[in-house]
Amino acid sequence: MSLQGKHILLGISGSIAAYKSATLTRLLIKKGAEVQIVITQAGKEFITPVTLSALSGRPVISQFFASDDGTWHSHVDLGLWADAMIVAPATASTIGKMANGIADNMLVTTYLSMKAAVFVAPAMDLDMYKHISTQRNIERLKSDGVRIIDPTEGELASHLEGKGRMEEPENIVAILEQFFASGNDLEKKKIMITAGPTYERIDPVRFIGNFSSGKMGFALAEESASRGAEVTLITGPTALSTSHPNIVRVDVESAIEMHAAALKIFPLMDVAILSAAVADYRPEQVADEKIKRSGKENLTLSLVSNPDIAASLGEIKKPEQLTIGFALETSNEEINAIKKIENKHFDYIVLNSLNDQGAGFAHDTNKVTILSRDGKKRSFPLKSKREVAKDIIDTALKPSTIDNEWLYL
């Protein structure tokens, strides 16, 4: 494997482990990459820009402007130039700033403009690493799609032993090579994803809805798009936004609208992932005017059933098309999920249980079991929704990579 011609943006923050950045730069260059270094003010206390520019063959950037001639260093251009960004070492402070968008230096500003995949290799003392604040920021970065390269255990700068040593440069390079080897593995795949809740109108100001946040569907869209897929995301009302240019977003409100959009788009797709929490029923009548209380003690709404989007797609599905459904069950979970595979003609179903803490609606994490049409299953621990998205995509679209990880039902 090589990194021939790859543009790597290396961010260095202020940690003792910055000495390893020199080796990392040298190894990246040896593998054929072009390396642009952005260093924080604190980073320069640990390693000099002279060493780093000699190794990378490029001036090292640390300010928004070059102080001698006023040249503006465009973080936007750097964001477009890079094929990957790696922050190594990443201190607790830099991780915190990245997780919260505090762009008070060139490194974090460049991160906010980054279009390519971002890797973060933390380096800090064990107490700082374990601290709830650091862990919260790392989790937030993970759910933003940043790939964390876990620190290793060993002797730390404080002479204490524990987890916090930055991963060795050789292993970081191997991770980057692996990423580029499988990086665009969904290129040209057309993937439709339904996400979020649907709102079923009662009158001009009220609706029937549910607690779906849309996070799982959006994570699936970002994961697929970052791997080169052309994604169409049909979403019910949510507060979420998409960032990847490969995602076309179609906003809908009700199950009927989502059904119409999905039926129109599906024939052009290779894959459909149905993660929306579609309302099973809608009010039979939508009142033109706001319904008044006017002394009524009881109000009865008559509901009619909504179309089943997944089942409709199942009927028009061609053999080469793949559909993946979701099931949220509270009892007889696997049996019910298997029934849905049959009824809705899914190839795979992702089962999440409301009995699992941290799984399901509104959480940033999820714990799933994936069942296949041909009677196999894979169960996963609690993970960020972005990592769950990766597991779902790998299981359904890259089955050869997980051949021996199935259990037979």
Q: How many residues bind ligand CTP (CB under 6 A)?
A: 16
Region binding ligand CTP by CB under 6 A among candidate stretches 98-106, 148-156, 199-207, 301-309: 301-309
Q: Measured between alpha carbons, how far is 263 from 276 in angstroms, rounded to an integer?
A: 15
User: If binding is defined by CB under 6 A, does position 10 make contact with ligand CTP?
Assistant: no
**Between residues 129 and 266, which has the closer beta carbon with respect to ligand CTP?**
266
Q: Largest alpha-carbon pair distance within the chain? A: 82
Which candidate in 137, 210, 332, 355 is catalytic? 210
**Quick one: CA torsion of 373, 181, 270, 345, rounded to 10 degrees?**
10
Region binding ligand CTP by CB under 6 A among candidate stretches 167-175, 181-189, 205-213, 273-281: 273-281
Among 252, 196, 204, 202, smallest CA distance to 221 is for 196
Q: Measured between alpha carbons, how far is 309 from 346 in angstroms, rounded to an integer?
A: 12
Among 316, 337, 312, smallest CA distance to 325 is for 337
Q: Give least dist CB 216 to ligand CTP, A.
A: 10
Structure tokens at 172: 């970081």
Residues whose CB falls within 8 Å of the CB of residue 351, separated by 6 or more in sequence, listed in order: 326, 327, 329, 333, 334, 337, 368, 369, 370, 371
User: If binding is defined by CB under 6 A, does position 309 make contact with ligand CTP?
Assistant: yes
User: If binding is defined by CB under 6 A, does position 56 make contact with ligand CTP?
Assistant: no
Out of 328, 364, 373, 406, the residue judged to bind ligand CTP by CB under 6 A: 328
Q: Give least dist CB 394 to ligand CTP, A.
A: 19
Region binding ligand CTP by CB under 6 A among candidate stretches 85-93, 136-144, 165-173, 322-330: 322-330
Find out whether 340 and 349 touch, Cβ atoms under 8 Å: yes
Mark residues 87-126: x for contact with ligand CTP by CB under 6 A, - for none.
----------------------------------------
250 SS3 class: strand
Active site annotation includes 246: no
Among 111, 143, 142, smallest CA distance to 10 is for 111
User: If binding is defined by CB under 6 A, does position 274 make contact with ligand CTP?
Assistant: yes
User: If binding is defined by CB under 6 A, does position 306 make contact with ligand CTP?
Assistant: yes
Q: Give least dist CB 327 to ligand CTP, A.
A: 5
**Interface positions, 193-222, toward ligand CTP (CB under 6 A):** 194
Q: Give least dist CB 280 to ligand CTP, A.
A: 5
User: If binding is defined by CB under 6 A, does position 310 make contact with ligand CTP?
Assistant: yes
Angle at Cα 166 formed by Cα 98 and Cα 183, nearest 5°? 65
Q: Verify cis geometry, omega within 30 degrees of 0, for the bond prior to 237.
A: no
Active site residues: 210
Binding positions for ligand CTP, rule: CB under 6 A: 194, 255, 274, 276, 278, 280, 306, 308-310, 325-328, 340, 344
